[in-house]
Amino acid sequence: MTFRQRLAPLFLSPWCVPALAVLGLLLFPSEAFAHGVPEGDAGYIQATSGVLPGPFAYLGAKHMVTGYDHLLFLLGIIFFLYRRKDIALYVSLFAIGHSVTLIAGVLTGFSVSAYLIDAIIGLSVAYKALDNLGAFRSWFGVQPDARAATLIFGLFHGLGLATKILEFDVAPDGLFANLVAFNVGVEIGQILALSAILIAMGAWRRTASFSRYAYSANVALMSAGFVLTGYQLAGYLVYN
């Protein structure tokens, strides 16, 4: 059965309604769905000076566990991974990429449009879902290197946060130590979020519905990624 033939039954599955509901929420401009640093946290970042590892680690963990785009990408990564060493490998590649551009981006002052970076992050979600669906092999007869893609998109995820942080006047006093603490917090948050995702996925995989609706779930994931991309591109066109 081809990719297009599999797509048609999606709208008859029980995933259709909740997936459309999620997509509908994403279509409404709202601070709750804006990827970045919340206003209160941004004010704290601007007002602090000196080495404060505890608060910055907390902010990093908070960012990860509430960062729906990061979580969707992680979900796509581990969706069909069963062995712990494979999960550890891919999550580590993502963490390395995320860490490098987060710290380097802030320290060097390198930034690009936050809307464009977030659009790429949305595409990373759509890419991973398409990879899970086998779309690239079906369409182009090739299978991209999933490990390289995970690392590369990790770089973009980190650059997205670095770009947001650079929008604020972060005090140079203790900057490097605070960035490291922030990144440690991000990784702690990633472990916590990933643990919850793995528990939920493990329970679902033990049911008959997993093989029945795994395809539909990835189509919903792909759709969410494209909606996130469109949302950010629309913001870029309107506000730039």
27-67 pLDDT, tens digit each: 444 443 444 556 667 677 777 778 888 888 998 898 888 88
pLDDT value at position 18?
Answer: 42
pLDDT attached to residue 40: 66
pTM, full prediction? 0.82
Identify residue 30 by its one-letter amino acid code: S
* Residue pair 228/121 in contact by the 8 Å Cβ criterion: yes
The angle at the Cα of 227, spanning 226 to 228, to the nearest 5 degrees, equals 90
Task: Answer for the pair 157, 31: CB distance below 8 angstroms, yes or no.
Answer: no
The pLDDT value recorded for residue 12 is 39
pLDDT, greater one: 15 or 58: 58
Dihedral angle computed from the Cα positions of residues 146, 147, 150 and 155, in that order, rounded to the nearest 10 degrees: -140
Q: pLDDT tens across 150-197, in order?
A: 999 999 999 988 988 887 777 788 889 989 999 999 999 999 999 999
Question: Roughly what angle, to the nearest 10 degrees, separates helices 175-205 and 84-108?
Answer: 150
pLDDT in tens, 197-239: 999 999 999 999 999 999 999 999 999 999 999 999 999 999 8
Average pLDDT of the chain, as a whole number: 83
Residue 240: predicted pLDDT:
73
pLDDT of residue 81: 94
Letter for the amino acid at 89?
L
Q: What is the pLDDT of residue 39?
A: 62
Arithmetic mean of pLDDT, 88-105 = 94
Percent of the chain with pLDDT over 90: 58
Q: Tell me, what's the pLDDT at 1?
A: 52
Sign of CA dihedral 60, 197, 222, 29: negative
Does the pLDDT value for residue 138 go beyond 70?
yes
The predicted pLDDT at position 22 comes to 47
Contact 35, 120 (CB under 8 A): no
Amino acid at 115: Y
Question: No. of H helices and E strands in the chain?
Answer: 11, 0
